[in-house]
Amino acid sequence: MEKRISITDLRAMKKRGEKIVMITAYDYPSARLVQEAGVPVILVGDSLGMVVLGYDSTIPVTMDEMLHHVKAVVRGTSRTHVVADMPFMSYQASAEDALRNAGRLLKEGGAQSVKLEGGARVAETVRRLVEAGIPVMGHLGLTPQSVHQLGGYKVQGKTPAAAVKLLNDAMALQEAGAYAIVLETVPAQVAEAITAKLSVPTIGIGAGSHCDGQVQVFHDLLGLFTDFVPKHAKRYAEAGPTIVEAVRAYAAEVRAGKFPTDRESFLLDERVFREASHLA
């Protein structure tokens, strides 16, 4: 049985100066492809709410929906470290809620760690989870579950005071036991300064090149999600138009009677068919 990447492995990568690659994916086939590409970490993000479920934000995503997708990703991997996002209101009300729901993501979902949003205000919750044996990844900067409070999807840490707060939040998460921290939509210089101060890895998304690792969404990399294209995303393929053309070609062949051919059909020996006189 293959050994999965552990949080100890990820910390060692930071010490070696080896960049950590993380991809956000949501299902079995995507997870298999990502692992085959040699990516060590998959985040099952609550962004699935927008990318695969069609919600207008991450806020409606439920624990049951997260568990459904986490299980699929875990089934599609054997080496990759799987991080499960904790959805909105699965940890904010109390540390007890957080412990119960994080435990479900590991016990029922099969994830190896969880991710939650927030800084100093959630540090005690992080501490409780870590003490219970649940590895926690933090998330600072643009925290999508707080999009209404933030006034939209905006760059965070743009003023001196805001930058200092981000650093203090990162230190609080590290002190509470978080093994890594996502920095989302943060000025590159601020992310670089935070990364230099921390002993745990930082994973950037729209936070410049000096983080210890980077995360992007599978569907953004491949051009599969076209509702909007984030500034931080780079298209490495345009699979969306390719899929549309393939489906159009299939539909055209069906309409023209060109599909299926004998090659895609199952045929009886003619003698056997003739013996089945009621079919003749």
Catalytic residues: 184
User: Beta-carbon neighbour count of residue 252 at 10 Å?
Assistant: 11
Which residues, 6 or more positions from 129, have their beta carbon under 8 angstroms from its beta carbon?
98, 99, 102, 114, 136, 177
Measured between alpha carbons, how far is residue 41 from residues 38, 49, 82, 156, 264 in Å?
A: 9, 20, 6, 25, 38
In angstroms, the CA 225 to CA 218 distance is 9
Q: Is 21 exposed, middle or buried (0-12, 13-18, 19+ CB in 10 A)?
A: middle
Please tell me the total number of residues recorded for the chain in this structure: 280
Prior bond of 230 cis (ω within 30°): no
Are the C-beta atoms of residues 73 and 28 closer than 8 Å to each other? Answer: yes
Nearest to 204 by CA among 21, 4, 56: 21
Which residues, 6 or more positions from 188, have their beta carbon under 8 angstroms from its beta carbon?
207, 208, 209, 210
Helix (H, G, I), strand (E, B) or coil at 167: helix
